[in-house]
Amino acid sequence: MASIDVTVRGAGIFGLSIAWACARRGARVRVIDTVGVGAGSSGGLVGALSPHVPEAWNEKKAFQLESLLMAEEWWGEVAQVSGRDPGYARLGRLQPLEDESAVEVARRRESSAWELWRGLAAWQVVPVTGAAWEPVSASGWLVRDTLSARLSPRMGLTALVGALVERGGEVVVGDAKERGAVIHATGVQGLAGLSGALGKRIGGGVKGQALSLRYEAAGLPQLFVDGLHVVPHGDGTVAVGSTSENQWVHEGIDDAVEGLHRKALAALPVLAGAAVVDRWAGVRPRAVSRAPVLGAWPGRAGHWVANGGFKIGFGMAPKVAEVMADLVLEGRDGVPEGFRIEGLL
């Protein structure tokens, strides 16, 4: 077998996206995951690709914007090469505004969004219309943004594997020999290993839970209500999530997911009677900076890290993948200062 130029450890969203970015540039890539594709936090249900609010601008928000803007073309190529639909659609998002004060703040953000998003997407205050697919709004007003998109996490990972294999890459479940540059995208376990190796806490895990309902809303926008994502997918389901639990008894599904269900029905009554078809629980990697951790592994030549995509991993993945491919294959360092491992030491 030909030698492997890049080894990626971890078959979650960061690992597979970076592997694809390297393979499409001609690298020979091997992905190794000891458990399986999407076995960690990337194998969930929600898939909300949504921006932060357009104010208090910083490098993290700017990086996320670039990733969201490039997502349609990036995932389109993945779909074309793999022949598999990742479930991507940029359909926007609705958020309720609770009172006149919230409406005033949201209106101020309309102009800042136009400037910060460079006229490529809009943040608009719009009246409630009475449509079934609208969240309950005490003020009678909603925010509608046109930047938000959705992706099926599991379909997206499957499409990435297919595209990678089409470009000559391989995915190994279990263990295998590392060759060439090694990129560690190993989630919570990876953050723990990096913390131990560097003698400094780099990050940890936060449990999340979600559920999926059988309801046809494929062409409608996602909703964000009181911290809850409600995301219609193209397969006739609506994902609801997720919790953020810093303490838990076990990593599996528990009663908290039923609380999500009740909250979703209160926010969007049209979902009453929709059958629950799936539930999910997992532990997501969160760096102490709450930003992705990218770059060379300090003191370990030829090894690199891409981790910490807490809640924004799928939205950040296209840009993270291209930046890491630039760094590892071409030596071009486009990692934002706030994402660097050195800044956490």
Coarse DSSP helix, strand, coil percentages of the chain, rounded to the nearest 5 percent: 35, 25, 40
Q: Quick check: is 75 in a domain?
A: yes
Rg (CA), the chain: 20
Q: Return d(Cα 175, Cα 279) in angstroms, integer.
A: 29
Instruction: Based on the fold, state whether residues 69 and 186 are members of the same structural domain.
Output: yes
- Per-residue pLDDT band at 48 (split at 50, 70, 90): very high
Q: Are residues 66 and 21 in the same domain?
A: yes
- The CATH number of the domain where 268 resides is what? 3.30.9.10
State the average pLDDT over residues 82-106: 98
Dihedral through CA 27, CA 319, CA 204, CA 198, nearest 10?
60
Residue 8 in this model has a pLDDT that exceeds 80: yes
Closest Cα partner for 223 from 86, 53, 89, 92? 92
Residue 231 is encoded by which pair of tokens?
A: 């995301």
**Angle separating helix axes 59-82 and 153-166, nearest 10 degrees:** 60
- Asked if residue 52 is part of any domain, the answer here is yes
- The arithmetic mean of pLDDT across residues 213-230, rounded, is 96
* Domain count for the chain: 3
Mean pLDDT of 246-263: 94
Q: Of 258, 287, 316, which residue sits at a domain end? A: 287
pLDDT in tens, 114-168: 999 999 999 999 999 999 999 999 999 999 999 999 999 999 999 999 999 999 9
Q: Exposure pattern of 278-289 as b/e (b: 16+ CB <10 Å)? A: ebbbbbbbbbeb
Per the DSSP assignment, residues forming a β-bridge with 6 are: 29, 181
Cα atoms in the Cβ-side hemisphere of radius 13 Å centred on 230: 30
Q: What is the pLDDT of residue 67?
A: 98
Terminal-residue alpha carbon distance, the chain = 40
Buried-exposed string 159-175: b where 16+ CB fall within 10 A, e elsewhere:
bbbbbbebbebbbeeee
User: pLDDT value at position 226?
Assistant: 87
d(C-alpha 269, C-alpha 276), whole Å: 15
Residues 102 and 226 placed together within one structural domain of the fold? no
- The C-alpha atoms of residue 26 and residue 298 are separated, in whole angstroms, by 27
Predicted confidence at residue 4, as pLDDT, reads 75
What pLDDT is recorded for position 1? 39
- DSSP letters of 229-251? EEEE-TTSEEEEE---BS--S-S
One domain for residues 188 and 320:
yes
Residues pairing with 29 in the sheet? 6
- The share of the chain scoring above pLDDT 70, in percent, equals 99
- Paired tokens of 144: 């509608």
Residue 76 has pLDDT above 70, yes or no: yes
What pLDDT, on the 0 to 100 scale, is given for residue 330?
95
What integer is the mean pLDDT of 284-311? Answer: 96
Residue 84, domain CATH: 3.50.50.60
User: Average pLDDT, stretch 191-217?
Assistant: 97
Structure tokens at 296: 């060379």
For the residues 27-43, what does the mean pLDDT come to?
96
Average pLDDT, the chain: 96
Which residue segment(s) compose the domain that 83 sits in? 6-88+148-201+288-344
Q: Does residue 1 lie within any of the structural domains?
A: no
The pLDDT value recorded for residue 2 is 52
Q: Classify residue 165: in a domain, yes or no.
A: yes
- Over range 201-229, report the average pLDDT: 96
List the one residue out of 265, 258, 263, 262 whose CA is nearest residue 281: 258
